[in-house]
Amino acid sequence: MILEVKHLIKRYRDFLALDHISLGVREGEIFGLLGPNGAGKTTTIRILSGLAGYDGGEVKILGKELVRHEMEIKRQIGVVPQEIAVFEDLTAYENLDYFGRLYGLRGKELKERIDETLAFVGLADRRKELPKHFSGGMKRRLNIGCAILHRPKLLIMDEPTVGIDPQSRNHILESVRALNRMGSTIIYTSHYMEEVEELCDRIAILDHGRVIAQGTKEELTSLIASEEKIVAEVTAPGYTLVEQIRKIPSVMECTAADNRLEVLAKKGERTIHQIIPVLTAADTEILSIRLERPSLEDVFLTLTGRSLRNE
């Protein structure tokens, strides 16, 4: 284990932000940390980064206790914060030079690392430009560059693709895979479930300060093996139709987006045959209806009662 967290507790006065959290990250894996807003993800990351203390439990990183070896551990981890942390009035090269020196890099080694990093994040041709003239995606890539320049053994990435264009997002996702192939262990948080499904080897789901599930995607989806997912494409899904479907006894949840209705129901209750008459009687046309295997998003919705991106 490159990271071991046991019974971690964090309080803010009377508010219990982390309630005996335990999780482990193995060397060489990409570990997803999921949770709705207020679940405790940010607090957990702040503690792992050494930016916040804690009130109980144990944190070991690289086999050493965080409270006793904080500075040594910090030299071997990298953090990509959700809020972009680069200097707008320093060039891309100067930003990397600054952060490299913080980690003790000097001379020829520092210059070579900067050149390698600029090429890796796709900013080699913008090395002399100021980030204040960059797009959001370019700033995000520079943000990542500042965190990986010293080749950390553990990389913590907090929402690295939030608010950027699809091209930059794809570039960052490919960079995450490449960093992992090069030996970095990565903790990854995101509000985009498809990113977590695509990237992560194992996943922990947090809610109300607790780890409520942890495992591979297959292990997590097996938690709702007694459920089925029904997807209906209709011409006019509306609030009234969703509420009617939710009243069917075997239906656990129903959501609508665009022309798509998604229903999570108990398996073996022939729910699809109960939904069709409701749709037929409504002022809408059924374009298609089918059963699908429950996804990680369905697991998340079942366990937390909320969508991952629900504010």
Least confident of 69-73, 84-88, 233-237: 233-237
- Is there a single domain that holds both residue 10 and residue 149? yes
Q: What is the pLDDT of residues 27-40, one digit of tens each?
A: 999 999 998 888 89
Instruction: Please tell me whether residues 126 and 240 are part of one structural domain.
Output: no
Average pLDDT value for the chain: 91
Q: Is the pLDDT of residue 224 over 90?
A: no
Segment 94-127, tens digit of pLDDT:
999 999 999 999 999 999 999 999 999 999 999 9
Decide if pLDDT at 85 tops 60.
Answer: yes
**CATH number of the domain to which 97 belongs:** 3.40.50.300
Is the pLDDT at 236 greater than 90, yes or no? no
Q: Is the pLDDT of residue 300 over 80?
A: yes
pLDDT band at 239 (very low <50, low <70, confident <90, very high): confident
What pLDDT sits at residue 277?
92
Please report whether residue 309 resides in a domain: no
At residue 238, the pLDDT reads 82
How far is 185 from 245, CA to CA, in rounded Å? 44
- Residue 45 domain-assigned (yes or no): yes
Question: Which tokens hold the place of 225?
Answer: 């093996």
Domain total in the chain: 2
* DSSP, residue by residue, the chain: --EEEEEEEEEETTEEEEEEEEEEE-TT-EEEEE--TTSSHHHHHHHHTTSS--SEEEEEETTEETTTSHHHHHTTEEEE-SS----TTS-HHHHHHHHHHHTT--HHHHHHHHHHHHHHTT-GGGTTS-GGGS-HHHHHHHHHHHHHTT--SEEEEESTTTT--HHHHHHHHHHHHHHHHTT-EEEEE-S-HHHHHHH-SEEEEEETTEEEEEE-HHHHHGGGTTEEEEEEEES---HHHHHHHHTSTTEEEEEEETTEEEEEEETTS-HHHHHHHHHHHSSS-EEEEEEE---HHHHHHHHHSS-TT--
Q: What is the pLDDT of residue 309?
A: 54
Same domain, 170 and 195: yes
| In a shared domain, residues 214 and 297 | no
Is residue 311 a part of any domain in this protein? no
Find the CATH number of the domain harbouring 235: 3.30.70.100
Given 220, 239, 255, the domain boundary residue is: 220
Query: Quick check: 187 and 48 in contact, CB under 8 A?
Result: yes
The yes-or-no verdict on residue 44 having pLDDT over 90 is yes
Residue 167 included in any domain:
yes
189: pLDDT strictly greater than 70 = yes
| Same-domain status, 255 and 166 | no
| Res 307: pLDDT | 61
Last residue of some domain: 220, 250, 282?
A: 220
- For residues 36 and 185, membership in a common domain is answered with yes
pLDDT-derived band of residue 306, with 50, 70 and 90 as boundaries?
low
Q: Are residues 204 and 163 in the same domain?
A: yes
The reply to whether 185 and 201 lie within a common domain is yes
Q: Which of 202, 220, 238 lies at the terminal end of a domain, its last residue?
A: 220
Q: State mean pLDDT over 159-165.
A: 87
- Residue-level pLDDT at 311: 42
310 assigned to some structural domain: no
Domain span at residue 59? Answer: 3-220
Residue 308, pLDDT score: 60
